[in-house]
Amino acid sequence: MELVITGLRLEAEGVLGVELQDHARGVLPAFRPGAHVDVSFPNGLTRQYSIVSSADDRARYWLGIGLAPNSRGGSKFAHEELRLGTRLQIGEPRALFGLDETAAGHLFIAGGIGITPILSMLRRCIATGAPWRLMYCVRSRRNAAYLEQLAPLTEQVLLHSDDEHAGRPDIESFIREMPQGWNVYTCGPGPMMDAVCSSAAALGVAEGAVHLERFRADAPTMASQSQEFHVRLLRHGGTFAVPQDASILDVLEANGVCLPSACREGLCRSCEVPLVSGEADHRDFVLSDVERDANRSILICVSRAKCSELVLDV
Ligand code: FES
């Protein structure tokens, strides 16, 4: 859909808030709190950004766009080039990360721009009266987006600012004090999310009660142990070699087979294709363990093969 920018504001240093509406002020598609949309910029790049506004407000989506330090053109373009009235192509909202509303309560641990998907989930908790707490870890208050909106919620929000608090945030204690039956949600830098997962596991929190969303591929996905393998396309036809230093997606595109993709980092699922045979080496950040074990699909922007040939239903 094509939406128009109707609001721009600096939410914190390096965080741009972008309000999008239908040009005829129509109702926008519903979304689950925690959802994101694909945003296609006029420079040809497509990136995913979380919707921070309330899922009950169908008149607009507010997005929070953090300026990535080594931006390859997505967030840099947004911060430098977007203007009121700019029209952008926006994908349907997709939720790979969301509230489990059957849980007794919700414990959120956000780092930096990772607050964005969590904010719409908090709004949902407030609207429904579900209990929740938030640990919000930032480098400094200057970089902490949405602090004003969180200010009235001091009882539930624990702010850890690196320049005000010595040491690392005590994630383990925060999880330990969580009431029985709550779920844990985390989004932020990879090491912080790894700490959340390991603390939760050490404290006996069930794996299914821990939810996370990665914004960037923090682990190397094209690891040095990559081997060359082949992909065979069942419907299109043809067999292609995938060298050590290229993805399946790169190879197919180079051979004129164009398939959907967006993040190209194993984060969004837009490149997922059915797998007919062969064992995938899943290197994405979004498939569940059950989906990995089932081996029925593969995200071709990052995943590879544990065998000599994969056959794709493409
Ligand atoms: S393009 Fe996003 S997961 Fe592959």
Domains and CATH numbers, the chain: 2-90 (2.40.30.10), 105-213 (3.40.50.80), 229-312 (3.10.20.30)
Q: Calculate the dihedral angle through the C-alpha atoms of 166, 70, 300, 248, rounding to the nearest 10 degrees.
A: -130
Q: Return the pLDDT at 224.
A: 46
Which residue of 216, 301, 312 sits with most ligand 1 atoms within 8 Å of its CB, as the best mutation to test the pocket?
Answer: 301
Distance 203 CA to ligand 1 centre (A): 32
β-sheet bridge partners, residue 274: 297
Other C-beta atoms lying within 10 Å of the C-beta of residue 30: 11
β-sheet bridge partners, residue 135: 109, 158
DSSP tag of 303 = -
Q: Return the pLDDT at 211.
A: 92
Distance 247 CA to ligand 1 centre (A): 11
Please report the sign of the dihedral spanned by the C-alpha atoms of residue 258, residue 312, residue 72, residue 53.
positive
* 268 exposure class (CB count in 10 Å sphere: 0-12, 13-18, 19+): buried
User: 275-314 b/e with 16+ CB inside 10 Å = b?
Assistant: beebebbbbbbbbeeeebeeeebbbbbbbbbeeeebbbeb
Question: What string of pLDDT tens digits covers the 314 residues of the chain?
Answer: 999 999 999 999 999 999 999 999 899 999 999 999 989 988 888 888 999 999 999 999 999 999 887 766 788 899 999 999 999 999 999 887 889 999 999 999 999 999 999 999 999 999 999 999 999 999 899 989 999 999 899 899 999 998 888 888 999 999 999 999 999 999 988 888 889 999 999 999 998 899 988 766 544 444 446 789 999 999 999 999 999 888 999 999 989 998 888 778 888 888 999 999 999 999 887 887 788 889 999 999 999 999 999 999 99
Residue carrying structure tokens 């180079």: 254
Distance 95 CA to ligand 1 centre (A): 14
Ligand 1 pocket by C-beta < 6 Å: which residues?
261-264, 266-271, 284, 299, 301
**Which helix or strand (DSSP H or E) is residue 240 part of?**
strand 239-242
* 162 exposure class (CB count in 10 Å sphere: 0-12, 13-18, 19+): middle
Dmax of the chain from CA atoms? 60
Q: Which residues, 6+ apart, have CB-to-CB distance to 144 below 8 Å?
A: 12, 115, 136, 138, 159, 161
The span from the CA of 242 to the CA of 258, in Å, is 16
| Pairing mode of beta strands 46-50, 105-111 | unpaired
Q: What atom of ligand 1 comes closest to residue 261's alpha carbon?
A: 1
Q: Which residues, 6+ apart, have CB-to-CB distance to 155 below 8 Å?
A: none
Q: Return the pLDDT at 125.
A: 96
Which residue of 267, 286, 291, 298 sits with most ligand 1 atoms within 8 Å of its CB, as the best mutation to test the pocket?
Answer: 267
Which residue of 37, 269, 287 sits with most ligand 1 atoms within 8 Å of its CB, as the best mutation to test the pocket?
Answer: 269
Distance 146 CA to ligand 1 centre (A): 28
